[in-house]
């Protein structure tokens, strides 16, 4: 009976590190994440630091996070160990690991994320604010007309 080592697969992980830490501590946490992947047979193919961003909602009573993205090749047996690191290390606020295809990896290489880049949904939500104000300004006149009809 021989035990086969599973084939290495492509994964991407995005983590949010506590931004309230000193820069040296953030750097140490990120380095620990990278070393952990490599020490468990992984090979980092892409690595982006997206920087500090405001969180959409508080996570562990924190309002800001330092975002880090890594695409790597690793054995599936390394993922539970990586999950354990994220759970035990309190400086990681959130994490998400996904298995990806080579096509997605190629897309990530040609379209790197940019720090502070607006997501299209956010950009669209910001534009109609003026239109909403215009509509709200017009509505009281329409309500007054409807109110007169009801009294008759």
Domain count, the chain: 2
Write the CB contacts of 23 (distance below 8 Å, at least 6 apart in sequence): none
Predicted local confidence at residue 45, as pLDDT: 95
Mean pLDDT for 34-49 is 94
Calculate the CA dihedral of residues 128, 131, 132, 133 and round it to 10 degrees.
Answer: 130
pLDDT tens per residue across span 90-139? 999 999 999 999 999 999 999 888 765 444 444 444 444 445 455 455 55
Q: What is the pTM of this model?
A: 0.70
Quote the domain boundaries for residue 144: 118-152
Whether 141 maps to a domain, the answer reads yes
Domain-embedded: residue 1: no
CATH of the domain at 101: 3.30.70.60
Domain identity same for 95 and 133:
no
Residues 15 and 78 in one domain: yes
Statement to judge: residues 20 and 84 lie in one domain: yes
User: Within this chain, do residues 27 and 89 fall inside the same structural domain, yes or no?
Assistant: yes
Q: Are residues 104 and 126 in the same domain?
A: no
Does residue 97 sit in the same domain as residue 124? Answer: no
In a domain, 4, yes or no: no
């Amino acid at each position: 009976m021989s035990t086969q080592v599973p084939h290495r697969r492509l994964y991407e992980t995005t983590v949010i590190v506590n931004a309230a830490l000193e820069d040296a501590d953030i750097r140490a946490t990120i380095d620990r994440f990278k070393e952990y992947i490599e020490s468990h047979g992984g090979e980092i193919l892409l690595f982006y630091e997206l920087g500090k961003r405001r969180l959409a909602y508080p996570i562990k009573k924190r309002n800001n996070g330092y975002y880090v993205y890594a695409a790597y090749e690793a054995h599936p047996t390394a993922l539970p160990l990586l999950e354990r690191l994220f759970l035990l290390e309190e400086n990681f606020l959130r994490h998400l690991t996904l298995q990806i295809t080579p096509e997605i990896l190629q897309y990530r290489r040609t379209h790197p994320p940019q720090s502070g880049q607006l997501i299209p949904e956010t950009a669209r939500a910001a534009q109609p604010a003026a239109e909403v104000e215009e509509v709200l300004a017009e509505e009281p006149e329409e309500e007054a007309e409807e109110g007169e009809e009801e009294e008759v």
